[in-house]
Amino acid sequence: MSRNPDREPLGIKPSVTDKLIRAVAAHPYLCALLLCLGLNPFYLGAAENVPQNALYAEVLMVLTAGFGCITYVCRKREVIKPIQYSLYVLFFLVICVTTRMYAQSESKGIWMFVAGFALLLMFYSFAMTKRFKEQLLSLLIIGTGFLLKFYYVYYSSCYTRQNDVHRFGGDNGHAGYMEYLLFNKKLPDFDVREVWQFCHPPLHHFICALWIGVNENVLGVGHNPARESLQTLSLFYTTVIMITAYKIFRHFKLKGLAMYVPLAVVSFHPCFVLMSGAINNDVLSVAFAMFAFYQTLKWYEDPKMSTIMKIAVCVGCAMMTKLNAALVAPSIAIVFLVVFIRNFKEKGAKLFGQFAAFGAVCIPLGLWFEIKNYIKFKVPIMYVQEMSVNSRQYIGDQPFLKRITDFSKYQFDSVYEQWLGENGESYNEFNPLVTLLKNSLFTESISDNTLGNSPLYHKLAVIFFWLAALIAAACFVMMVYNLFTKSGLDLTMKAMWGSYYALMMLNFYKMSADYPFTCTMNFRYITPTVIIGAFFMGITLKRLEEKRENKAAEAAADVMAAAAVVFCLLSVIIYLQVCVPKTAA
């Protein structure tokens, strides 16, 4: 009897793998949601909220899965019963010992990360087939990125490394906004300029208020755990971003290294790790914007009403989450215009109807809150809350031209973002580009003290910074090169990608000039640039792969892949250390 070469002797049948991959591919976002919701009761957003009986349930699930695997393998290999029962006993003893070690460990998050990665590898090995190698390896990359984000959330409070959240029980900040909606069950009925962060459109805050209310009043979750568990929502949103990035790369038929390298960069980039624990509105707006971007790619190939409605809802919801998500709209409009001009004679009326439907859904959905505030309180549609010039982080005394051209050496003495101290120590970061590079990796909350007293981790952080700067510069060069050469992208796609990047960067520099504070130069405002840079890295790798017979092209592809692998490994090492409990450090 011939052996099927498409799978390992102990592997899952190809038909089972086929069904599994098809099910996940058909509903990836639903699978991600169910995973996050399934994990939530076992930790409720923080290590200190783990229920007492969570370990018993986890052990029971591991034993069930382990016994199932042993039974499957033994039947497949026709193992005699005594050996099979011995394996049951051995596995049970191993689980008992490791469970005791886990229970006594002060670094339970590390255990979960390692165990999760081992399970992913086991699944990858069992399900591996040549036909689905790309999908399974991509799932392994996304899954490991998810584990890193879950680890970060597990050890990070809803007050840790946050932006403008303030505190629950207060009357301002994102936390105060959520509780205002929760307790008053209505929108702010006052001038939103009077309360910090209440000027934001309410979709994210409404979802969070609903989450807290259901957890507290329906599920019986305690006051603090219900609020800590908001990070589960952010964990889901960052998973959505990873999945959407994969879909975008796959849409352009990136394969092999051209798929794995950019996907890994997106999955392990610190900005998305940090976002997975952030409970402000940034991450949801990015998730909606990137999904709208992906749906536009699909509409460009097949302009259907159902697809343009998805774009309308996503852009509208992105703007109802955070207004600056509208930066994706001009790039989408370029695609709409090109398709309309090309098909004016044959489908002009039909396309006009689609655009009318798009506007009828997107504009009210995205702007109703701002219009309401303008009508009632004359709040400008594009209003941005300003800080006092008396703030310690004010840098408006420096000319903007000097700020963007000054690359003095002292700015690189530390790879962590610098802020002026209460006693005048240090300085405020002022150069937007330098601040972006630092902030993208370490945010504004990670400093020399965060990684402990180990010189090794600080040296790794320095290597990480300079490697990331090199990769970012290379991605920018690759983007420009591919935009202005024959890269397999038509002019419309080049315009879409290029305009989105340019608009984000122009808006970022304009904000840096108009609102001269260190906090304004935060990478969270331009996180989609990571996906754009990674995409053009993938396009370049695809072109290099087509020239594999050329030694220089082969070497360039290998160097890019190696740099990305080191970048991802350093991201894992540093963020495992960033979050490690101080008692275990």
Which of the residue ranges 20-34, 114-128, 455-469 has the most confident prediction, judged by mean pLDDT?
A: 455-469
Q: In the structure, what pLDDT confidence band is assigned to residue 582 with cuts at 50, 70 and 90?
A: low
311 has pLDDT over 70: yes
Tokens encoding 71: 């039974």
Q: Per-residue pLDDT for 554 more than 90?
A: no
Q: What residue spans define the domains of the chain?
A: 173-228, 400-546
Distances in Å between the alpha carbon of 259 and those of 273, 402, 560, 577?
20, 40, 13, 28
Q: If you compute the radius of gyration of the chain from its CA atoms, what whole number of angstroms results?
A: 25
List, for residues 361-401, the tens digit of each pLDDT value: 999 999 999 999 999 999 999 998 888 888 999 999 999 99
pLDDT of 537 reads 97
- Please state whether 485 falls in left (phi above 0), alpha (psi between -120 and 50) or beta: beta
Among residues 583, 577, 514, 585, which one has the least CA distance to residue 152? 577
Q: Which of 435, 431, 433, 403 is nearest to 417 (CA)?
A: 435
% of the chain surpassing 70 pLDDT: 96
What pLDDT shows up at residue 552?
Answer: 87
* Tens-place pLDDT, residues 474-495: 999 999 999 999 888 999 999 9
For 119-124, what is the mean pLDDT?
83
Whole-model pTM?
Answer: 0.92
pLDDT at 4 over 50: no
Q: Which residue has the higher pLDDT, 123 or 299?
A: 299
Phi first, then psi, for residue 306 (nearest 5°) are -60, -35
- Residue 422: pLDDT band with limits 50, 70, 90: confident
pLDDT of residue 225: 93
In angstroms, rounded to a whole number, what is the distance separating the alpha carbons of residues 281 and 322? 7
The closest of 90, 298, 491 to 82, measured between CA atoms, is: 90
1: confidence class by pLDDT, cuts 50, 70, 90: very low
Residue 394 phi/psi, 5-degree rounding, is -70, 130
Whole-number Å distance between alpha carbons of 524 and 526: 5
